[in-house]
Amino acid sequence: MEIKVAGQAGYCYGVERALRLTDAAAESTRKPIFTLGPIIHNPQVVESFVARGVNPIEQIDEASSGTIIVRTHGVDPLVIEQAGEKGLAVVDATCPFVAKAQQRAAELVRDGYNLVIIGEKEHPEVAGILAHARGEATVVEKAGDAARIKGRKPLGVVVQTTQSMENFQQIVAVLAAKVSEIKVFNTICSATTRRQDAAKKLAEEADLMIVVGGKNSANTSRLAQICRATGTATHHIETAKELEPAWFADVNVVGLTAGASTPQWLLKEVIAGLEEMRDV
């Protein structure tokens, strides 16, 4: 059995930056240390930071002193103000691509556009973008949702950074047909696009795909969706312990990719697990 790893897999710049900032905070004396939600959507990484005294919380009121780390997905700017008012030190680990989407959303609303955010309604990144737009936006998840939007003018569009290019283009096409003026900012992270393209290409060559990353990770789940869409059997796992020998019966080529919040050590463990199965 041949094991092939996608050309783009694992940590992106925004995640690496957030983890560097969190690591530095963990070594500081300004304790206790909290993250607003999990710093990234990877349970194993979050657990490693908890062991070092960096604990996720859901609300700013849960912290009365110490340091608050804003996770990669960003937050409502009012939350950062509240942290300052409480005397908390703030480390802003918002991904730069997410910050750009927040900025574009605010600009469009300020300039009088009716804003559409393409993304998952319940995702924290989308919630943060919506907050930067003062709540004056409609969130659209798929082309069918866009079809129900009334032809208000003019329309402005931003997109969740981990969305697929295909979904983004389909929705924009529907919206553009409804209005005479539309201003679109493609705020998809370039690393996301490269990772998705590499996963799709590999899935087309492989007999089976393994996608490694948090089950709560939107970008990892989207990689699995993209791989399945090629017709190749695909399994989304978090760790090597989830590998099932029965999956690999009659498999000549297994492809492997990982989400933007998946550390290399987890990816290497899965590769080692696959090699053990191959060598049995």
Residues marked active site are found at: 125
Look-up of token digits 């789940």: 221
Q: Tell which residue, 188, 170, 182, has the closest CA to residue 115.
A: 182
Nearest Cα residue to 262 out of 185, 195, 163, 186: 195
Choose among 83, 32, 37: nearest CA to 58: 37
Measured between alpha carbons, how far is 98 from 149 in angstroms, rounded to an integer? 25
Tell the burial category of 55 from Cβ atoms under 10 Å away from its Cβ (0-12, 13-18, 19+): middle
H-type helices in 111-163, by residue range?
124-132, 143-146
Residue 280, judged by CB atoms within 10 A of its CB (0-12, 13-18, 19+), counts as exposed
CA-angle at 90, arms to 162 and 190, nearest 5°? 20
